[in-house]
Amino acid sequence: MGKEFLPLSTAARMVLLSRIERFGSKPLISVVMPSYNIEPEYLGAAIESVRRQSIRIGKLCISDDASTLAGVRECLEAHASQDPRIRVTYLSKNGNICVNSNSALALATGDYVAFLDADDLLAEDALFWVAQTVAAHPDVDLIYTDEDKVDKTGGRFDPHFKTAWNPALMLSQNAFFAPRGFPPQHGRESRPIQARI
């Protein structure tokens, strides 16, 4: 994937670790990742971006929707064999994004779940900021974040800086973008959230 995505300096990493120690509660966040025919290079990079998080994660819960692309299963098996936090389930036949997301969600443990597409990347400190928000506001149910895109060389572009919570705006603009899942009877993509489990 070219250069490493948003590496933290050693000093920045130490600051985050010291802040984590001061959290009143340390929420356990599982990452839910539905996968279907993702190039192994991108799938592996997405998995590694979760493994490199600066906070302790619950599980990385991956459901593969009967991928037919060469190398996908081998990539998933290789990563799962290296890290006991990675749980993978394989659907026997291709369903849809809702069925696949729900299958991954069934593997989750902990206090919160975060949804990540199998070709996306998390900055090393991404879940730290989520955990810090939860520690500061333990009654929070939904969290959304800014996002941008990364090209093949690791260059960032097309940032999407989201507004502060605005219930009226949320009726017409979805802040939760990438994640999806839940009602399988709809059989098409719905847009969910980072949610408490």
pLDDT at residue 176, rounded to an integer: 66
Burial of 86 (0-12, 13-18, 19+ CB in 10 A): buried
Residue 152 placed within a domain = yes
Is 50 exceeded by the pLDDT of residue 66?
A: yes
Q: Is residue 166 part of a domain?
A: yes
The CATH number linked to 49 is 3.90.550.10
Give the confidence band of 191 by pLDDT, cuts at 50, 70, 90: very low
Percent of the chain with pLDDT over 70: 85
Query: Has residue 5 been placed in a domain?
Result: no
Section 68-94 average pLDDT: 97
Q: Which range has the top average pLDDT, 75-79, 111-115, 129-133, 150-154?
A: 75-79
How many domains would you assign to the chain? 1
Q: For residue 130, give the nearest of 61, 50, 64 by alpha carbon.
A: 50
Q: What average pLDDT does the chain have?
A: 83
On whether residue 2 sits in a domain, the answer given is no
| Phi, psi of 183, deg, nearest 5 | -55, 100
Average pLDDT over residues 132-144: 87
- The answer to whether position 137 is within a domain reads yes
Report yes or no on 3 lying in a domain.
Answer: no
pLDDT for the residue numbered 177: 52
The H or E element spanning position 33 is: strand 29-35
Instruction: Give the per-residue pLDDT at 6.
Output: 59
Lowest mean pLDDT among 28-37, 63-72, 85-94, 120-129: 120-129
Residue 1 belongs to a domain: no
Write phi, then psi, for 96 (nearest 5 degrees).
Answer: -155, 175
Structural domain contains residue 67: yes
- Entry pTM: 0.83
Domain that holds residue 99: 10-196
> pLDDT higher for 119 or 148?
119
